[in-house]
Chain A
Amino acid sequence: MADSACPTDSRRCNYFFLYDGSKVQEEGDPTRAGICFFYPEETPLEQQELLCGQLAGVCQCVSELSRSPVRLLRLRGSKFAVRMKDHFLWAFSCPPDIPDVSVCKLLDQLISLFCFYNGPIRQSYQLHSRADLALRWARYLTHLQGGSSELHHIFSCLRTIDSTHIDPLLLLKAALILQACQRCPLVLAGCILYRGRVVSTQMPPDLTVKVMVHETESYSQQDHRPVANGISSACGTPSSSTGTTPVFLTPAELQALCCPPVNRTCRSHCTPQPPPRPRKSRLLSRTLSDTPPSELDAAKLDPAPTPFLCLSDESCLSPCPSSSQATTPEFSPLHQSENPCTTDAESHDHDLSNEIASCELEEEVVRGKMANGCSKKVELRMDQSKVEARGDLILQNGNGCHTNGYHQEPASDHHSDQSSGDEPPDTSHLKPLSNGAEMPDKEEKKKKEKANIKKDNQERDENRQANMKNSGRKIEVKDREGVGDGEMRENGMGRGESGEGESSEEEQVLLPRALYQHRVRALVLALLVEPHFHSDQAAVEEVSHSSLASLNGLEAHLRTSTPGGPGPHGPYTFAHYDCIQNTLTTNLSGRSVAPQDRSFVRATALLHSHFSQTQTLQEAIVRSAGAAVYSTRSPAQETYFLQHATSVRNSGIPNHLDSAFSLPNKARHRLLKHGVNLL
């Protein structure tokens, strides 16, 4: 959190510009007519023209020769990620040591950010003045490069709250609030942010990033909220306010939110499977120990290592790739046992300490069970190929969705014993293991309550589909699986490449939705809602009432929890990147410039780009005279590790006693206490 306040600490962007070639067609047209935005804005106009003119010309020429738009352009001292579409050309330059993938990803993020808030690019330049839009570009640019370390740039990851210093139950609470909001049929998904960092999110990482811009923006402006962006309404006390902003989603994004691939996947894959015993216990264990927003962080608290778990066993608990479900699966069992609390979420009067107490209780139970799970897990992992692991992701996703309740479609009702729309399909498996005795009772209570909701859900789903069709995109149920899969790859695994072809088509159709924001001091609840949400007074009230008190409570707790320094320091540096949730855990502080750290960042950049180029690469050790770095990756994560002070001089000749080759072992042991499991 400390570094959230220093926006331009590490300014990595040298130049960024948007050039509209359609404005410079004739011989006499000045180049400046085509320059829509140029950063840094203080650059002399002549130089702006020179750069834009040359780059645009040369890119045009190359793309004609190759019949494919230019993606990357390198100069001796810098590199430009380039995006060409219609007559527009975006170019974003950074120093050459940032990997190609990262630069391209940054530019794509920037462009999609703009489209998210302003709609299609051509249209927005017709509707608004250049100066207005320039302000926005500048804002998005600042947001993207603001306040994070070089490592964050390499992975272009989400900034999450440092959950090592936060009671995990607060994170649960956040997830609860989000789920409560989703009861309103007009709410698609949401996230909770605190001081520019993610506390909990239901959206895919790409979307979360976009939502965060608005939050950061309004946070920095504190009380004077932005009016520039349209329907901004205010209510409540100075410390608490709400507002709505129009936003634009791509069909793929919307689909990810509305129609997750999971129901189908789950139906076709889960049910026929013999009920897998071992995973249930783990499901539970994770429930309590793992908290949604950054499961890595949460995992730190958990002696039982988690990340591999989610890949190795088919358990539905994972840093679930696509969409909102990420947060909820872990949450659901708690939801059951804490039934009153969930239902109370609406009446928003809830005592947090109560929750904590009961959770702790259950945690005890679960810890015991975890041991079994762990030993099983290793076996499972052994005989699972990567392909299966990949399949698992989808599968997990499936379960995740079910647990998430709001997505329930009529079809999923064939799980006979879980008629409640809010119940995860796995409950049936869960019962015998978790505190079985109390569960059924609670469920029955719930059933009644939830019956209504279920109806709502059904209606809502129909609505949504109708909406989608209206938007000119027909969604066939049959296709969902495939689309969802692709989508997931794009969001989670995609290294900026997959789905690009798709997106270029998709961007032509942007679907208007709205972003509802409820701020309580530094805490923000951001919800993606249907466009008419704002006008639906009942819905607004429902949401705001259901969340207000809980938000207040959460804010108070977050405020009082001490930020603390970065995690436990040891004689090593590590970075752990979760490709699916797009989060980073590291013990490297943003500002450190020790030579060891420099070489760590350098090696990480190299290895990351190597990983992204070579899909089959699983682990690597590289050593220079000064430092040896070990890295390993699975489909879901990448881990980098450097051991300090092992500068015992060596010759570089192959020698198995060499300290560099003991790094994998060291990493495995050391990182356990950070919740990173490499076993």
Chain B
Amino acid sequence: MKCLLVASESAEVLFYWTDPEFHIRVQEQYGPTSDDGEGPQHAFEDRINTLFAPIIISCSTMVDRLRESYTTFCTESNDIYVLHQFEECLYIAVNGDGEENEDDLRRKIFVIKKLTEVMFGMVTLSSTLLRKELRPQDTEQRRALWRRLQGLLETYSRLREQDQSFLVEAVERLIHPTLCEQCIEFLERRLVQQLNSSAERAGEEVQHAFILVHTKLLAFYSSRNASTLSSSDLLTLMLMVQHLHPSNPEIDDSSPEDIQDTTADPEVFYTPEPSPPEHPADWCSPSVELGRTDMEAPMFQFVDPDIQMAEDSLQTLQMNPPDPATPTRVFLETTLKEGFFPMMPHSMYSLPLWPGITLVLITKIPSSQVAMSIYHFLETVAKLEKRLKDGQEGAVPQRGHTPIQDLRSKMDKFIRVLGNNEIQTSLLQKAWAEFKAKAFSRGGPGLSRQLVPYCRNLHTQLCGVFRQCFVSGSCSTQRLSPSLQDRALTMVQDKLLDWKDFLLVKSKRNITMVSYLEEFPGLVHFIYVDRAAGQMIAPSLNMTERASSELGKGPLAQYIKSKVWSLVGTARRYLQKGYTTVTQRDGDYYLCYFLWFENETGYKLEVVDIPSPPDSAPIGMLAWDYYRKLLRYYSKSHSSEVVKCYELFTMHLGVIPSDYVLQHCSQLARKLWEPSRIPLL
């Protein structure tokens, strides 16, 4: 029984997701959905709203009157409710089946927050606009958007359950240095170069190109002038790609043996189920199966939109059937010479080479300069607002290069430029005019507290312009031409054709425990993470019905998996309180966790007291990059050197004396240090 809900302060449902059990529970409580003319979806939404309204209202009362807010409820049946407020939106995650703990739920909330940031960019900086964005007035649009977010959330939950890289929130690479190097070279010399020199790129510039085999990274290339892609963003992109082209676990189960044996028609195993429920349904996703959508769309046009329908194919319900070559708009963090910009617009093209293997291109769009300006203004206005709230008031100096004068001239110019680009700026102009009238007029109050609401309004209007430029549907015409995309796809397909089957197998057996057993008898499993690079290495743990792993099949393997998962959870819980080493004797196993710092040459640095993450943010890299903050904190006392941070999780048989276990751990850390240095670039 799971549920996730985003609500505004006025208890309006901005987004919800429930699993079937929760759905049934609600229906039991209220009787079956009656069609009230607006469809069952609508009725269900109302019920969710009714159910949670008392909690939401109580929450805002507590904030208003006591400056306190709820964070968790636990019931005697061990249902958990986690609540978190971001700005004016309240997020509630519920679990009633014991599959997720409090930390998982909070993490989920942060993940959905991150997803909205990647999807809506700076619009999320204004609660008013975010509310509108999450809950479009139009029912069909709303349904489509929620469907997409729900799908992303489900994909995330699946990956966190199944995939070690999403468990520890670090990128896992395919360990094959030669091929990896070849591919990087290919991406650099051939692909990106050709794309960026083509006339059909419509002003877009490929910044990053990478190849994913399921959730593992084969090769990654960033162009020279590109900002580095943060681990958090890369993981989010991988999540989105997985959502667009899910690796169907059922089908993958037949691998890898089957593939090796039956070379006859491997496609059969890897073709994703063509049934509609499996198909990602989002209106701005590049559905690369050309023609399919167009053909299918009319068939469903006259069907009543009942639930089944909604689940089957949302594409039919969309306003405009998407062009399959349309990229996904993503907002990524960039650090340029001009400064740091948290949510810059990019386009993501995810081109499936074969089922399970995807080429992803991230391009910078031509108008991103506008986004930089908007961010600059937003920052200035926010700083001003804060200063005013703190009581630093005063008259505006009429001359000179004060920040406020700077803002004035730049903003005037910016509005002019926008107007030239046929962008609706009337609201922004109005807000700016009001602001100026208050701040700069001679008889006016100057810089005073009275200006705060005008700052707020200006802030909102700037976000509105951002939305208009980068988020709303009209911007989707901009893209690499379909033929260019096709060419890129073919090029990489040609390059990897011979490797295809190998890669699919390799992604299941990236590294195996067998190769470590001789050296480390008694070692059952380990995970090694380089937090500075955001990468991890771990023997594969395949928990599928049909493929037996080295751990064998069934309950034992499942048990070991659950131990590994709980070890990571435990380690995080202790790390949150400042403990960097944890060893436990748990049942028949001995579990260890270590976190340490090194400089670039591998010299081990001292442990320091570790700060707790603020506001109970989850420890990880996907939704909120705790480790980056940690590294930054640590670097303060080691400003002269590059600091690296590593983590090692190990699981040994309990009969191994703890002395040996610890020796193993230190040898393992030494041994794994090398391969993790394969350059990402």
Contacts and interface: CB of A to CB of B under 8 A. Distances in A.
A292 B430 CA distance: 83
B96 to A, nearest CB: 6
A58 B55 contact: yes
Interface stretch (A70-78, A256-264, A480-488): A70-78
A100 B74 CA distance: 10
Interface stretch (A200-208, A301-309, A462-470, A623-631): A623-631
A617 interface: yes
A664 B658 CA distance: 10
A618 B69 CA distance: 36
Contacts of A58: 54-55, 58-59, 70, 73
A276 interface: no
Contacts of B158: none
Given A602-B577, A653-B669, A617 B72 contact: no
A12 B145 CA distance: 48
A-side interface mostly: mixed
A223 B663 CA distance: 66
Given A54-B61, A652-B580, A654-B669, A70 B592 contact: no
A238 B58 CA distance: 56
Contact of B68 (A76, A625, A658): A76
A340 interface: no
A651 to B, nearest CB: 3
A606 to B, nearest CB: 6
Contacts of A59: 73
B55 A61 contact: yes
B581 A70 contact: no
B597 interface: yes
Which has the most chain B C-beta neighbours within 10 Å: A47, A74, A100?
A74
Interface stretch (B237-245, B296-304, B419-427, B605-613): B605-613
18 contacts: A62-B79, A65-B79, A73-B74, A74-B71, A75-B70, A78-B68, A602-B577, A603-B579, A606-B577, A614-B566, A617-B586, A622-B574, A623-B581, A624-B578, A653-B594, A653-B596, A653-B666, A656-B665
A617 B663 contact: no
B581 A72 contact: no
B138 interface: no
A654 B579 contact: no
Which has the most chain B C-beta neighbours within 10 Å: A54, A626, A664?
A54
A65 to B, nearest CB: 6
Which has the most chain A C-beta neighbours within 10 Å: B94, B573, B577, B584?
B584
Contacts of B596: 651-653
A652 B609 contact: no
Interface residues of A, number: 56
Nearest to B603: A651
Given A622-B579, A653-B604, A66 B585 contact: no
Nearest to A61: B54
Contacts of B658: 661, 664
Contact of A70 (B75, B584, B646): B75
Interface of B: 51-52, 54-55, 58-59, 61-62, 65-66, 68-77, 79, 81, 94, 96, 566, 570, 573-574, 577-587, 592, 594-598, 604-610, 646, 648, 658-659, 662-663, 665-666, 668-669
Given A61-B51, A77-B68, A620-B583, 9 more contacts: A59-B73, A61-B55, A66-B96, A69-B75, A623-B580, A623-B581, A652-B580, A653-B604, A655-B666
Contacts of B592: 654
A652 B65 contact: no
Contact of B609 (A617, A624, A655): A624
A75 B582 contact: no
B662 A73 contact: no
Nearest to B589: A616
A62 B583 contact: no
A72 B666 contact: no
A67 interface: yes
Interface of A: 47, 50-51, 54, 57-63, 65-78, 100, 500, 602-603, 606, 610, 614, 616-626, 628, 649-656, 658, 660-661, 664
Given A54-B61, A614-B586, A649 B607 contact: yes
B-side interface mostly: mixed
Contacts of B582: 620-623
A76 B69 contact: yes
Nearest to A630: B583
Contacts of A610: 570, 573
B54 A73 contact: no
A592 B129 CA distance: 53
Nearest to B606: A649
A100 B662 CA distance: 32
Contact of B70 (A50, A74, A664): A74
Contacts of B75: 62-63, 66, 68-71
Contacts of B585: 617-620
Given A71-B75, A654-B594, A656-B662, A624 B610 contact: yes
A72 B663 contact: no
A661 B597 contact: no
Given A74-B71, A74-B72, A652-B597, A624 B77 contact: no
A64 to B, nearest CB: 8
A72 B69 contact: no
Contacts of A50: 61, 65-66
B228 to A, nearest CB: 27
A74 B62 CA distance: 13
Contact of A651 (B73, B574, B597): B597
B606 A650 contact: yes
B71 A72 contact: no
A500 B76 contact: yes
B62 A71 contact: no
A76 B79 contact: no
Contacts of A51: 66
A47 B69 CA distance: 15
A61 B11 CA distance: 14
A42 to B, nearest CB: 17
A63 B66 CA distance: 23
Which has the most chain A C-beta neighbours within 10 Å: B574, B579, B606, B666?
B579
A74 B102 CA distance: 11
B81 A625 contact: no
Contacts of A655: 662, 666
A57 B594 CA distance: 44
A84 to B, nearest CB: 9
B71 A654 contact: no
A610 B79 CA distance: 19
A70 B669 CA distance: 45
B552 to A, nearest CB: 20
A390 to B, nearest CB: 15
A651 B607 contact: yes
B7 to A, nearest CB: 14
A403 B582 CA distance: 44
A320 B596 CA distance: 45
A49 to B, nearest CB: 11
Pairs A-B, 8 closest by C-beta atoms: A654-B665, A651-B604, A656-B662, A68-B77, A652-B596, A616-B587, A74-B72, A66-B79
Given A54-B58, A73-B72, A624-B579, A652 B607 contact: yes
A480 to B, nearest CB: 28
B604 A73 contact: no
B50 to A, nearest CB: 10
A57 B604 contact: no
A72 B606 CA distance: 39
Contacts of B61: 50, 54
A275 B548 CA distance: 49
Contacts of B81: 62
A57 B583 contact: no
Contacts of A66: 75, 77, 79, 96
B71 A75 contact: yes
A622 B58 contact: no
Nearest to B96: A66
Nearest to A657: B662
A443 B71 CA distance: 66
